[in-house]
Amino acid sequence: MNNTSTVIKVLKRIKHYLPVLVISLVLALISVALTLLLPIIIGDAIDLITSPGNVDTEAMLPLLYNAAVVIAFTAIAQWIMNYCNNKIAYNVVKDLRAQAFEKLQKLPFSYLDTHSSGDVVSRIISDADQFAEGLLLGFTQFFTGIMTIIGTIVFMLSINVKITLVVVLITPLSLFVAKFIASKTYAMFKAQSSVRGEQTAFIDEMINHQKIVQAFNHTDESMERFDEINDRLAKCSLRAVFFSSTTNPSTRFINNLVYAAVALTGALSALAGGGLTIGNLSALLSYANQYTKPFNEISGVITELQNSIACAARLFELIEAEPEPSDKGFDTLEDVSGEVGVKNVSFSYVPDKKLIEDLSVDVKPGQRVAIVGPTGCGKTTLINLLMRFYDVNSGTITVDNKDISKVTRHSLRASYGMVLQDTWLRAGTIRDNITLGKENITDAEVIAAAKAAHSHSFIKRLPNGYDTVIGEDGGGLSQGQKQLLCITRIMLSPPPMLILDEATSSIDTRTEIRIQKAFAKLMQGRTSFIVAHRLSTIKEADVILVMKDGNVIEKGSHTELLAAGGFYKTLYNSQFAG
């Protein structure tokens, strides 16, 4: 994504606020016109007091009154113009943030898996803020600067053509200097934004996993990693700011030359009697200063816009990321019996690294299917494919003989109940977290589900029972208690199919035995997929799929697989030796 395409996209967003932009431009024109009118009024007043004993007070008073009126109207116009500019800039950024967050809800899991959460947060928060600052600076200084330059040339030409030509011929040098520096700083600001996103991602990771970092005594390594990223950010920022900051002194030097040239040529012209009065010279010097000032401001704006555009480019990359394919108009799954078919499925996260190849499994309604195998064999990947978090590369997965790629994701995922090793709870009451996404649930139903999941006893011990407020991700609860709440959520209104991925990994053995019995009752008549490392938990499964290197290498009941003496028996004996 280059500079030009990013600017065009920004302009398209600004187009929605065209009426406000027109008002801002009109006010900028009025403000500039009044500002340029003031030196003429002051110059005329100076001409009334240039010679000794020749001070025309009566003629001066109307001029001073006019000057005061011009200053007052200029201030009002600038105040309203700044309000309009703020409204445009922050509304454009508000729209971009809303689009980015909306896109976040539609992005496929493949995008979220390959982009750290910290980097995504940095794009929506930090980069949007940087873009807002640059956009606001552009509105407040760029347009008024251009109008000031044009206006001063017109007013200067009305006073003295030769001096105006001197100014016009020298000043463009500052623009060439600004353009040269700006072209070099864009890449630096882009690198700065990228490293800042990397740092945000690392900080986010450390905060979320601080217990693990401390448990494994990894604090020193984490500090070293942070210092390395921080040093890179400091170097990127220093280079970007240093090179961009050279613009202003460079253009100021050229503009001071312009001012000196006007003063010298104007003074010589006045002394030579070329029709140039002291008041005219005063106005010309004021115009020379006003003429060169926008060049300094515009050059500063250009370098700041490089940072702004670099941040906008990262934001647009998120907004324009490829969303999940739409399933509008697809069939919906209704009255699901739970028949699942996996036919010749192949899938890999990375094209050149194969994972699941030519996998075929048939699951009858109500069957309990356990999936076992070593780490990395494809167990969780198979669950991701069943839920259509990822689409298969080839082959088909069907539910009740319907290809899941041709049914709505909502109806598919509503047909599954999931309890994972990683819990998900939101800030709110215990009751809110149990009834999540369900309406018209009575307290009696909630308590019954909690008793079935063996969570009722610990909930009653909390300060406010079911009305106890917990923090984000279940702050204040143990890992086992959080997992019990997730199990309770499923017990409340179980769907036709279940996925249990290490659902009791954080629960004590005594409670686990009770929950296994509750699960056994829950799974009756429901198709269930159970991912487990502890093979003692899946002895009662109707079918056990033994996976290795992305393929099902053995299939059968617990007794049949032990009798076969294959890989499953080796796994089982490794856990229950003797």
Residues 12, 71, single domain; the answer is yes
Tokens 């206006």 label which residue?
A: 151
Predicted pLDDT at 73: 92
Going by C-alpha positions, the residue among 254, 267, 265, 262 that lies closest to residue 285 is 262
* Count of other CB atoms within 10 angstroms of residue 260: 12
Predicted pLDDT at 72: 92
Buried b (16+ CB within 10 A) or exposed e, 191-201: bbbbbbbbbbb
The model's pTM: 0.64
Decide if 332 is inside a domain. Answer: no
Residues 230, 283, single domain; the answer is yes
Residues 380, 235, single domain; the answer is no
Predicted pLDDT at 136: 75
Tokens 């003074």 label which residue?
A: 267
Measured between alpha carbons, how far is 30 from 27 in angstroms, rounded to an integer?
5
Dmax over CA atoms of the chain, in Å, equals 124
Residues 263, 303, single domain; the answer is yes
What are 193-217's pLDDT values in tens digits?
788 878 888 887 887 777 777 777 7
Calculate ∠ Cα 231-232-235, nearest 5°.
85
Taking a C-beta distance cutoff of 8 angstroms, is the pair 484, 454 a contact?
Answer: yes
Residues 306, 371, single domain; the answer is no
Decide if 127 is inside a domain. Answer: yes
The CA distances from residue 235 to 189, 191, 226, 566, 568, in Å, are 11, 10, 14, 58, 55
Predicted pLDDT at 1: 42
Measured between alpha carbons, how far is 14 from 90 in angstroms, rounded to an integer?
11
Residue 545 forms beta bridges with which residues?
371, 555
Residues 43, 171, single domain; the answer is yes
Q: What is the CATH number of the domain that holds 384?
A: 3.40.50.300
Decide if 327 is inside a domain. Answer: no
Per the structure, the complete domain to which residue 443 belongs is given by 340-575
Residues 390, 312, single domain; the answer is no
Measured between alpha carbons, how far is 187 from 397 in angstroms, rounded to an integer?
46
DSSP β-ladder status, 543-548 and 551-556: antiparallel
Residues 170, 21, single domain; the answer is yes
Taking a C-beta distance cutoff of 8 angstroms, is the pair 207, 121 a contact?
Answer: no
Residues 152, 282, single domain; the answer is yes
Decide if 335 is inside a domain. Answer: no
SS3 category, 514? helix
Averaged over successive runs of 10 residues, the pLDDT of the chain (578 residues) comes to 74 85 87 82 74 67 86 90 86 88 84 78 83 76 78 79 76 70 72 82 79 79 88 85 73 74 75 69 74 69 74 86 82 86 87 81 87 81 86 89 89 84 82 83 89 87 89 77 84 84 71 73 82 75 83 84 85 70
Taking a C-beta distance cutoff of 8 angstroms, is the pair 511, 480 a contact?
Answer: yes
Measured between alpha carbons, how far is 264 from 352 in angstroms, rounded to an integer?
73
The two three-digit tokens of residue 182, written as one number: 């700006």
Q: What is the CATH number of the domain that holds 52?
A: 1.20.1560.10
Among 319, 348, 374, residue at a domain's last position = 319
Among 286, 319, 352, residue at a domain's last position = 319
Decide if 50 is inside a domain. Answer: yes
Predicted pLDDT at 303: 66
Residues 222, 276, single domain; the answer is yes
What are 233-281's pLDDT values in tens digits?
888 888 887 777 776 677 777 777 777 777 777 777 777 766 677 777 7
Non-local (6+) Cβ contacts of 250 within 8 A are 174, 177, 178, 181, 299
Decide if 325 is inside a domain. Answer: no
The DSSP secondary-structure symbol of 353 reads B
Residues 271, 303, single domain; the answer is yes
SS3 category, 43? helix
The CA distances from residue 186 to 302, 308, 329, 546, in Å, are 10, 9, 45, 54
Decide if 145 is inside a domain. Answer: yes
- Tally of domains within the chain: 2
Q: With 0-12 CB in 10 A as exposed, 13-18 as middle and 19+ as buried, what is 25?
A: middle
Decide if 330 is inside a domain. Answer: no
Predicted pLDDT at 254: 73
Residues 245, 125, single domain; the answer is yes
Q: What share of the chain is helix, strand, coil (3-state, %, to 5)?
A: 65, 10, 25
Tokens 């347009």 label which residue?
A: 143
Among 319, 352, 386, residue at a domain's last position = 319
